Amino acid sequence: MENDDQSHDWDLVIKGRTSLFDVKFSDLWHYRDLLVMLVKRDFVSFYKQTVLGPLWFFIQPIFTTLVFSLVFGKLAGISTDGLPHFLFYLSGITAWSYFADCLTKTSTVFRDNANIFGKVYFPRLIMPLSIVVSNLVRFGVQFLMFIVVMIYFKLQGAHFSPTYALCFFPFLLLLMAFLGLGIGLIITAITTKYKDLTFLVTFGVQLLMYATTVIYPLSAAPEVYKKYIQLNPMTGIIEAFRFAFLGKGEFTMWGMVYSTTFTIIVLFIGIVIFNKTEKNFVDTV
């Protein structure tokens, strides 16, 4: 009886075969200190050898917004729903960049961490989660810049105002994070076997941006294409983001329900595929 009681005193049990749906979410909480350490590592390792350091948080969205304002606002004359060009494009870029960063960096998590995964046990889902959290720091800095720009244009007399949809902002942030995470998990699982697909990720994300209302409002899209643009789950999220802070955009409950449902399905599929692939990916990477 004494041996039987001792057999139940283990803190961790590693099994060779587990169910496809056995994700062990409780392990994520037990390894929360590792999550914090990985977030710090991502932040420090990316910027410690750069000249401008965290200033890149500001430089990239500012220059991208300036180019969009010139090309699409001034030269192409695309409507911005009456908003100042710089403010309109910055709002879309701020939301899109967080989603895109979560997707692209998660899509290579197996390849980038193959050596670590093959040496020591920890819940593998910690690694992509750390990417989502570390990108949240970057989003926070860019979001503050967006708020400052919004205040500046308001003081200049621009006609816009926040709406009741501001209460949905934390939920919109979760949707952006989980959607990028889910798609990234699916891609990283596929690229363990088909490595050349990694070259298509950055290009594909760039194309997907033009199928989202980042550089044009949904109201300006031709009716024949509008229904296809709305099939992109990020369209509803970005439109809701603009409506919440600027009072412009087509914010509908149908769009929110669709984006939420799509995100939940993609995240579930991504976690299941990731959970299956991480058991034997070392043999193929």
**Token couple for 104:** 């692209």
Q: Is residue 14 part of a domain?
A: no
Q: Is residue 13 part of a domain?
A: no
Report residue 2's pLDDT band, with 50, 70 and 90 as the boundaries: very low
Residue 82 near residue 248, CB atoms below 8 Å: yes
Domain of residue 181: give its range: 29-283
Q: Is residue 127 part of a domain?
A: yes
**3-class SS of residue 163:** coil
Q: Is residue 262 part of a domain?
A: yes
Residue 64: exposed, middle, or buried by beta-carbon count in 10 A (0-12, 13-18, 19+)? middle
| DSSP 8-state code for residue 51 | S
11-21 pLDDT tens trace: 655 555 555 55
Residue 134 near residue 42, CB atoms below 8 Å: yes
What is the pLDDT of the chain when averaged over all its residues?
83
260-281 pLDDT tens trace: 999 999 999 999 888 887 766 5
CA distances from 102 to 10, 121, 131, 179, 245 (A): 35, 24, 7, 9, 23
pTM recorded for the entire structure: 0.83
112-164 pLDDT tens trace: 776 776 666 777 788 888 889 888 888 998 999 999 999 999 999 888 999 99
Q: How far apart are alpha carbons 161 and 275 in whole angstroms? A: 44
Phi, psi of 46 (to 5 degrees): -80, -30
Residue 14: exposed, middle, or buried by beta-carbon count in 10 A (0-12, 13-18, 19+)? exposed
Provide the number of structural domains found in the chain.
Answer: 1
Q: How far apart are alpha carbons 242 and 237 in whole angstroms? A: 9
